[in-house]
Amino acid sequence: MLKKAFCLFVVLVGFAACATMMPPPSLYIERPSPMFTAELSLDDRIAVEEAWNYLRQNRPDKAEKIIARMSRTNPFTAAARGYVAFLLNDYTLAEQNFEQALRDYPDLPVAHVGLGQLYQKTGHEELAYNEYLEVLKNDPENAWAKKEAGAIRSRKTDQYLTEAKTYASNGNVEKSKESYLKALEYSPKLQEAHLALARLYIKEKNHQNALFHLKTASANDPANWTVLKDYADALYQTGQFSRSLDLYERLRELDPADKTAVQRIETLKNRLGIIELPSQYGSILGSEAVTKEDVAALIGIKFRDILSDASIKPPVIVDITTSWASRYIVKVAALEIMEVYSNHTFQPKKTIIRAEMAETLVRLINILKKSGSEIVSQIPLERIRIADVPQEHFYFQPIAQIISYQIMDLAPNRTFKPELNITGQEAIKILDLLLGLIK
């Protein structure tokens, strides 16, 4: 064993010393991968080193004699024969041997590199490119494969891009699309090809294919205003309004002065039923006592889909100009869900008590019934007895009615506490309960 190891050392040193005296081979000879040589016997390892040194010295005749000594199970035997035939310009035999090597060992880098060069030599760059990709799949840092694959990628991308433009200028749309797609096979992030294809597909009203290329182009360059606009427009044309809205809002962020984006955002929000909720709306939940403007906003927002068709002339209200809920106040006042006083004031900051909330809910229920909603009493009115609200009480009727619907409840001692304020949490719970009854 020691003698064989010494022989291997002598072979390596000897061939290294004489390598400079030989003409270089006409092709690149990939070194055997340690992943495969590690499994060889010492005899086979010595034979592989000798054969490869002769191949790298452009001495196929010498290499062939060494290969004859290599075992049939040696993964490098067929690949070595392929390189010998290649150096002797027998391309058919070289291809057969490289292919045989890959049938036995599909991941063998020396065979892929040899076959790739053979395909380049015979004018089949597409096939050569695939072989180099196979090498890079298992060895991403392989310098030779990276260089050759990169060079082919660049040439083929330019070639197909030029072809696509020429076909397009001549009116041959199908051939133009084919060439752009081939360019993308080599350069998947090529923006010019994605955008050109998107435009061609849009002209054909093939929006699905156009969206694919616009989506890819947008992902490649998220801050490109032109790409985003084309993508947003295409989404809008195909009825994908929610996704389109997201992109238009990004466009507005990139260019706040873009009037087209602002107008389209407003159109989409109206179509989707989206409203911009004021910041004050979010604070209602934590309020200890809701105001009239709070309740108007809750009703206007929660029941917007049901109440939106009302076309009633809005009343004159003189004190809501500065209220954050003015648009909702106008709506509920026009529908007479909430009261406007005789002096044309609404008093938006006035807190609502439980009795007033009951009256507001009954008015809202009556409107909902007129619009087709079915809301049924759960308790007959004649059976309702309220300890702290006698029948002569101003708010007895609305309180009794809302109890009959079981939207507001009595306390265990059968009291309603009509003068008590309504908290934000309670107001939201009551309105959600009513909303649930009509859905």
DSSP-assigned states of every residue in 35-97: HHHTTS-HHHHHHHHHHHHHHHTT-HHHHHHHHTTS-TT-TTHHHHHHHHHHHTT-HHHHHHH
How many residues would you count in the chain? Answer: 439
Q: Tell me the pTM.
A: 0.57
pLDDT digits 0-9 by tens, 125-150 = 999 999 999 999 989 999 999 999 99
Q: Is 291 helix (H, G, I), strand (E, B) or coil?
A: strand
pLDDT computed for residue 33 by the predictor:
87
CATH of domain 2-140: 1.25.40.10
| pLDDT, average across residues 63-77 | 89
Give mean pLDDT, residues 102-127: 94
Q: Which residue from 10, 89, 81, 22 is spatially nearest to 52, judged by alpha carbons?
A: 81
CA distance linking residue 43 with residue 51, whole number of Å: 12
The span from the CA of 262 to the CA of 56, in Å, is 67
Cα-Cα-Cα-Cα torsion 162, 163, 169, 172, nearest 10 degrees, comes to: -160
Residues 6+ apart with CB under 8 A from 192: 161
> What's the mean per-residue pLDDT of the chain?
88
Q: How confident is the model at residue 25 (pLDDT cuts 50, 70, 90)?
A: low
pLDDT at residue 226 above 70?
Answer: yes
User: Above 60 in pLDDT, residue 21?
Assistant: no
Q: What pLDDT, on the 0 to 100 scale, is given for residue 72?
A: 79
Q: How many CB atoms lie within 10 A of CB 93?
A: 15
Highest mean pLDDT among 66-75, 140-149, 267-276: 140-149
In this prediction, residue 308 has a pLDDT band, given cuts at 50, 70 and 90, of low
Q: Which residues, 6 or more positions from 141, have their beta carbon under 8 angstroms from its beta carbon? A: none
pLDDT for position 255: 86
How would residue 356 be classed by pLDDT, with cut points 50, 70 and 90?
A: very high
Report domain extents, the chain: 2-140, 284-437
Of the two residues 265 and 364, the one the predictor is more confident about is 364
Q: Which of 56, 14, 11, 58 is nearest to 32 (CA)?
A: 56
Does pLDDT of 337 surpass 90? yes
Share of residues in the chain with pLDDT > 70 (%): 92
